[in-house]
Amino acid sequence: MLSYQSYELPEDFKTGTATSSLQIEGGDRNNSWYRWAEEGHIKDGTHCIVADDHWNRVGEDILLMQKLNVSVYRMSLEWSRIEPEEGKFDTEAIEHYRNEIKLLKERGIETLVTLHHFSNPLWFEDRDAWVNKESVELFTRYAENVVNSLGDLVSNWVTINEPNIYLIYGYIFGQWPPGKTKIGEFFKGARNMIKAHIRAYEKIHSVRRGLGFNDTRVGSAMHLRLFDPKSPSILDKIVCWLYDYLTQKIFLSGTIEGRLCFPLGFGSGKDKKRYSDFLGINYYSRDIVKFVFSPGEAFGRREVKKDAEVNDLGWEIYPEGLYRVCKDMYNLYTLPIVITENGTCDKEDAFRTKFIYDHLYQVKRLIDEGVAVKAYYHWTLMDNFEWAEGLSARFGLYHVDYETQKRTLRKSGRFFSELCEKKGVDEDMINKYLKD
């Protein structure tokens, strides 16, 4: 029998769920992932064209959130709907999102809105997307239009979700659109996405000040993995450092401090300003890294720790990694931390409840040690289109039958609902959900 203990979270700590528009909405044929699926690149052969049909079921899905007792919800906007042609903005799409956010507000759910979550309009994709230096201006114009339209309803913004992961899978591994394996374009994209974040940060604050608001908070949501060396050897440690630096640290320095570090640039930030009001952390797993001398291994080999517990996708389940990542980031930047994504792929719902318990236990540790963790967004509300994996990878608190679109609350969802209501885990919850 595993040993569990109850814990309480602060009264002002916020718990909620996170989704992205492309993964749940369906119905849009004007984006890079629709074309990618049409070309047959999705591993399980499924498609994003319907997904959860959320575009037509907004009210129903907000009721699902209410049943979870969440106080916050992280959602994204689909750029391809809002600006279907370059420079032409769709007022009906904006009105749809306004109505969604207003309904959430009426239900007592605060929104954190993401402007870009992996998906591009086709006109933008066909202009070399983020590799094109004009992407900075194009994204800033889109951000300004959105905030002018929604800024009276939304205080909290994420500019770009996981720019590091978007570029790694799209320009190094070639598994996401545009399907390239060009490291030079990875670095070009990184420069432009960092610059776009800085410009959007300034624009969002400026627009909302003009609207009379002074409660604006803007950040990015960064995918942060833990990289641990396989052995104490100096080569394994160097490879760990390289992975961390090239896939994480250069993005953090850019989006928080405005610094383009080598190989993106050589200068320090032009001033002492910060370009993030909070640090959004998406944490899922860690990699064990070993140095290998092979051109195909990109400095070294990433492995899963031997005999580790893993999820359906083979990712190690390592809750302490959330503690270690947040502790390091807070010591480095002293910014408020928001866990913008944390969840696991578990089709049978066999270990998701324990996953949630264990990761929020680490959050409790952090808070007790003075780390300013302000909110936790579970990934995700309901099963969805999981990028290159397709519909078969299930991360949801709600199971979705894609034939009927019926949503069914899983046991882990019931646990999370009680956790949100009680602001912690008590003995009754442990007996009910964890001791079997």
Q: 304 in a domain, yes or no?
A: yes
Q: 193 in a domain, yes or no?
A: yes
Q: 258 in a domain, yes or no?
A: yes
Percent of the chain with pLDDT over 90: 95
Q: Report the CATH number that the domain containing residue 145 is assigned in CATH.
A: 3.20.20.80
By the 8 A CB rule, do 383 and 399 touch?
A: yes
Q: 143 in a domain, yes or no?
A: yes
By the 8 A CB rule, do 429 and 422 touch?
A: yes
Express each pLDDT in 98-116 by its tens digit.
999 999 999 999 999 999 9
Q: 2 in a domain, yes or no?
A: no
Nearest Cα to Cα of residue 322 among 277, 393, 379: 379
By the 8 A CB rule, do 240 and 231 touch?
A: no
Q: 213 in a domain, yes or no?
A: yes
CA–CA gap between residue 46 and residue 294 (Å, rounded):
34
Express each pLDDT in 348-384 by its tens digit.
999 999 999 999 999 999 999 999 999 999 999 999 9
Position 270 scores a pLDDT of 55
User: Is pLDDT of 394 > 50?
Assistant: yes
Express each pLDDT in 17-31 by its tens digit.
999 999 999 999 999
Q: Is the pTM above the cut of 0.75?
A: yes
> In the structure, what pLDDT confidence band is assigned to residue 267 with cuts at 50, 70 and 90?
low
Q: 75 in a domain, yes or no?
A: yes
410, β-bridge pairs: none
Number of domains making up the chain = 1
> In the structure, what pLDDT confidence band is assigned to residue 300 with cuts at 50, 70 and 90?
confident
- The radius of gyration of the chain from alpha carbons, rounded to an integer in Å, stands at 21
Please tell me the number of Cα atoms within 13 Å of 83 on its side-chain side.
Answer: 22
Q: 1 in a domain, yes or no?
A: no
Position 341 scores a pLDDT of 98
- Which structural domain range is residue 359 located in? 7-434
